[in-house]
Structure 1
């Protein structure tokens, strides 16, 4: 078996963000009085949702002034954004802020809640647009935005193609979420110095997540099988956007020094990538009763994950028959027997062991960086628990 792939830290350059990260990661909380969390380093989803609802309500009068249909669009977007979710990104940003010395008991804490909650509007934009890209029809048990608006078109008997209208409406509402995210951060109430420190991090995060998404669609269309490409997608579409930059944002708001920022970014990148590698394994070997999707679903979808790229790299060198079989099978209507055969190929080629070793290496490195950082003890405890949830899960 060949040695595990060695990937670098954020400064070394190019890592893929699954849509299920939102559902799989849960902030470790212990309920306290009046629904508050016992640990001040943990931000409850309820506080995020209250901040979002208050902000969106303030936007309604302007939308009504522009027009009734636009106001209805804002209502639809508000329902979408407020409809569940673990609020993972604000949670990491808040914990990053607390870990850098932010005081949850200070009067300014509510402004920080508002600032980090704006991340959920970027997430709203990403989900609305991802649902279009993936041709998804439902999200959390409800019609996706483009499907909802296509249905409205049909119900009203409007002219033109309902699907084209639905897609057009959803693109614009996703853009609106992105624009309002900027507004919510700017109007959060954090002081001017904190806002100036936050802006470069915010800009980098937006650029990275859009870049990661673009890399992903090009890789899928071009059938790019390289490990470097899979790593770049993991880094920018998942790790940076979901863990690394939210932690960085919280640290920037608190005025953290460069050493803590570097530790946060190292931790966030490594845990984000380790999460995706675990997701890759579950997409092929996971128990359907636990994962909620058919066994081998990622193989049927033809995903060029690190797991698959690793297997093909070895097969091209050592087993051309296996390489041809994997390439011919990906993205086809596989039977259970086909899935079992491909699982055996991936295992025999050493790809499964490589990915498991990489998860262990990345997780260990991340936890070491966290332990050696200057973050506060309660923040370290919270982040370590979140890391374990992300990388050791079975669903």
Structure 2
């Protein structure tokens, strides 16, 4: 039997590794407590039901660029480690949907909404919403616990896993800190540009790009001479990626984003786009635009017409153009850094391609 070509179709191999792990982990607890099966099935469906697999892809190509051999003895173990990033992503998304009171993701009901529906349809005692929220929190916690299991059980020598631990630990803490900073900013109403950028750097840049790059390079035995510039590349690219996501949150097509148009506005997310919109409207003394943006943020009853009004206001005051300018500037800076890093091919080419994928317009 020929060796698998992990480079050729990495997402498919990541999906296969996740499916194998989730099947085994679900069967073990399912035999012990059958009542828990709907929870493990919901997690498996969530993880395997979509996603771009960006985090495993960044980690894999960082490992390859640092000298990792896709046909070597460590390749399968590295694949399992990078695939485990998707379980941390599942935890973050499931909990994010609870924190943001989101009704849908990827065109389907969010986990807490689905479990609330099961409660209501079954006629169980208590509040369906409370049950749904509790189930989602526990399923998100399960994803985080299983991420650690998948990482720790990867078939790699102990020194290799030990070298990757600092990146793993930092990433888990940073994503939770970023989530807290996000809800704290919404609660305090901090609409400053500085607050928005702090969230972008901590919640997205570090967790989505920087730490996966760090993880992959560490698995290959790289030191600070390679890891530090990769982190710098990841910082600029990660912020650009979040700014593009912010634009999609307001201007995106629901068929692309998987969420209703304007959901970021309804959820009250204090993005750079909105921070700049409010700042520019105030500086230009455009009271109507300032009022439209302010009224939209955190308004769950926002209509499609309201969203269109906010889109026009953000465009008219120059916030959209400024965010696009920053995306271009950050992307250029990231590519400049990447070109200065000595990476084995085809990793340098693939990371360049990933930069375009992560920052391209999709609306």
Q: What TM-score range do you get, normalising by the shorter chain?
A: 0.7 to 0.9
- 2:113 corresponds, among 147, 159, 164, to 147
Matched, 1:93 2:55: no
- 1:126 corresponds, among 67, 92, 98, to 92
| Partners of 1:286 and 1:152 in 2: CA distance | 30
- 1:266 corresponds, among 212, 215, 232, to 232
8 Å CA contact 1:301–1:330 kept in 2: the answer is no
8 Å CA contact 1:282–1:394 kept in 2: the answer is yes
> What is residue 393 of structure 1 aligned with on the other side?
361
Matched, 1:312 2:281: no
Matched, 1:232 2:198: yes
Deviates more, 1:152-161 or 1:189-198: 152-161
Deviates more, 1:169-178 or 1:334-343: 334-343
> What is residue 254 of structure 1 aligned with on the other side?
220
Q: Counterparts of 1:306-385 in structure 2 under 5 Å?
A: 306-319=272-285, 321=287, 324-326=290-292, 328-331=294-297, 332=299, 342-343=310-311, 345-385=313-353
8 Å CA contact 2:292–2:309 kept in 1: the answer is no
| Partners of 2:307 and 2:328 in 1: CA distance | 26
- C-alpha deviations, 1:205-252, integer Å up to 9, x for none? 011111111111121222211111101111122121111111110011
> What is residue 110 of structure 1 aligned with on the other side?
76
| Partners of 2:312 and 2:107 in 1: CA distance | 35
Deviates more, 1:58-67 or 1:338-347: 338-347
| Partners of 1:239 and 1:106 in 2: CA distance | 30
> What is residue 167 of structure 2 aligned with on the other side?
201
8 Å CA contact 1:43–1:91 kept in 2: the answer is no
Q: Counterparts of 1:17-56 in structure 2 under 5 Å?
A: 40=7, 44-56=10-22
C-alpha distance 192-35 of structure 1, shift in aligned 2 (>3 A): closer
8 Å CA contact 1:99–1:376 kept in 2: the answer is yes
| Structure showing greater relative contact order (alpha-carbon pairs closer than 8 Å, 6 or more residues apart) | 1
TM-score by length of 2: 0.88
| Partners of 2:208 and 2:137 in 1: CA distance | 22
| Partners of 1:56 and 1:289 in 2: CA distance | 28
C-alpha distance 117-300 of structure 1, shift in aligned 2 (>3 A): closer
TM-score by length of 1: 0.81
Q: CA deviation at 1:379?
A: 0.7
- 2:28 corresponds, among 62, 76, 82, to 62
8 Å CA contact 2:116–2:131 kept in 1: the answer is yes
> What is residue 214 of structure 1 aligned with on the other side?
180
Structure 2 runs not aligned, ≥5 long: none
- C-alpha deviations, 1:190-211, integer Å up to 9, x for none? 2111111111111110111111
Q: CA deviation at 1:116?
A: 0.8
C-alpha distance 85-156 of structure 1, shift in aligned 2 (>3 A): same
> What is residue 24 of structure 1 aligned with on the other side?
none
- C-alpha deviations, 1:49-81, integer Å up to 9, x for none? 211122223223531353221244323322222
Q: What SS class does the counterpart of residue 155 from structure 2 fall into?
A: coil
**RMSD across aligned C-alpha pairs, in angstroms?**
2.8
- C-alpha deviations, 1:159-196, integer Å up to 9, x for none? 22222122212211211110111111011012111111
- C-alpha deviations, 1:327-371, integer Å up to 9, x for none? 543335667776666555434544333222211211111001111
- C-alpha deviations, 1:118-140, integer Å up to 9, x for none? 11111111122122222233333
| Partners of 1:385 and 1:312 in 2: CA distance | 34
8 Å CA contact 2:80–2:150 kept in 1: the answer is yes
